[in-house]
Amino acid sequence: MVLEHLHKMNDYTELTKLYDQRGINYFTPAHLTIPFIKQSIVTPVTRILSLGCGDGRILKEVTHLSLQKIVGVDISSVRIAHAKETVPNAVFYCQEVSSFLKSCVDQFGAVFIFEVLEHLIDDLEVWELIPKVCPNGFILGSVPINIPDPAHLRDFANVQEISNRYRLTDYRILEKHVYFKHNIRNGAYG
């Protein structure tokens, strides 16, 4: 069952303070994410957009996989400041992903969304907005399985809940995370 406590959460003010406090000490499974990206992208893609990019620890390892500057978006100004230092050749925006996607007129060949969907008030709306900015590319991402955290707005008890919610077809389980690749063709998920 998806446990949602959205009734308490009308905006991201409190969560953003938490992300700022965690800063570079925020644990994310980079040891799984970086190899997953490298295995999934065998030749460089034109442009990469990373949603909820964090402090740049992942992007610095994969910049060579983008033919143009990588674009990262994160709601935490502290984490974005670290990302700018860590990956000076990328472009970063401190913005909420949903508002970023709604105003974005650029297009990308790949979108990353690692360990972010469980933090979003409107995860399904964000999921549907992504093909608009990546109409003929692919999305790579991950969601934790049953790892409760005060910053999670929903926690998934098992893989089935995650694959059903995001209609995943191509995914694998690495430790306690579902890692997925989803192709997008003509602005729709394949």
Ligand X SMILES: C[S@@+](CC[C@H](N)C(=O)[O-])C[C@H]1O[C@@H](n2cnc3c(N)ncnc32)[C@H](O)[C@@H]1O
Where does this chain bind ligand X (CB under 6 A)? 12, 19, 26, 28, 30, 33, 52-54, 58, 73-76, 79, 96-97, 114-116, 119-120
Spatial CA neighbour of 55 closest among 17, 35, 27: 27
* Residue 83: exposure state from Cβ atoms within 10 A (0-12, 13-18, ≥19): buried
Task: Determine the length of the chain.
Answer: 190
HEC profile for 97-121?
Answer: HHHHHHHCCCCCCEEEEECCHHHCC
The Cβ-side half-sphere exposure at 86, using a 13 Å CA radius, reads 21
Least Å distance between CB 91 and ligand X?
15
Least Å distance between CB 83 and ligand X?
9
Q: Which is nearer to ligand X, 74 or 161 (CB)?
A: 74
Q: Which is nearer to ligand X, 31 or 186 (CB)?
A: 31
Least Å distance between CB 111 and ligand X?
12
Q: Which is nearer to ligand X, 26 or 168 (CB)?
A: 26
Return the SS3 of 45.
Answer: strand
User: Cβ neighbours of residue 105 under 8 Å, at least 6 residues apart?
Assistant: none
Q: Which is nearer to ligand X, 28 or 66 (CB)?
A: 28
Least Å distance between CB 21 and ligand X?
11
Least Å distance between CB 127 and ligand X?
13
Q: Which is nearer to ligand X, 47 or 57 (CB)?
A: 57
